[in-house]
Each structure stands twice: as structure tokens, then as C-alpha cells.
Amino acid sequence: MSVSTHSVTLLTRNGCGLCTVALEQLRPICADFGVEIALVDVDEAAATDPGLRAEYGDRLPVVLLNGREHSYFDVDEPRLRADLAR
């Protein structure tokens, strides 16, 4: 398996049940492509990036692929797998 040039970030919040589910869905997908998942808590990040919480805070979890919004609330597994394969 080659090393992926993609990055996957999961925007979360402490105590977010949907965020926990999304992380569990992302783990096997990203493992298949050799991608590490970066976790960003939008509340903790607000001190240095208040725009992050302002933009995404009301629709977490959000999956970012290569820094761009890919999906929110639910992980779009077929689409994410197709995009990671590129």
C-alpha cells in the first residue's frame, strides 16, 4: 500500500455522540488508505481560530478532506473512499 497524499480531519466537540460515531466510521476507511485522522475540537481551537467554531460549530461532526469540507453529521463512506482513491 502506498502512502496517501490526502489528509482527513474530523472536527469535533467534547461530549458529541455523533462525533464519536463518525470517528469509529472513519478509522477503518482511513486505515485502508494509510491516512492518519487529525482530530480538532472546535471549542478548544476557538482560542486560536474562532472562525472554525463559527463556521462549523452548529453542524458537527464535520469531515475535512485536504482541508475542505467533505461531509457533516454522517460520514459519506462511498464518496470518501472514492476521493481517497484518487
Domains of the chain: 8-84 (3.40.30.10)
- Please determine, for residue 18, whether its predicted confidence score (pLDDT) is greater than 50: yes
Per-residue pLDDT, 1 = 45
**pLDDT tens profile 27-45:** 999 999 999 999 999 999 9
84's CB contacts (< 8 A; 6+ apart) are 4, 6, 8, 29, 30, 32, 33, 35, 65
pTM of the model as a whole: 0.92
- For residue 26, what pLDDT band results from cuts at 50, 70 and 90? very high
**pLDDT tens profile 40-82:** 999 999 899 989 999 998 999 999 999 999 999 999 999 999 9
Phi first, then psi: give them for residue 31, nearest 5 degrees: -60, -40
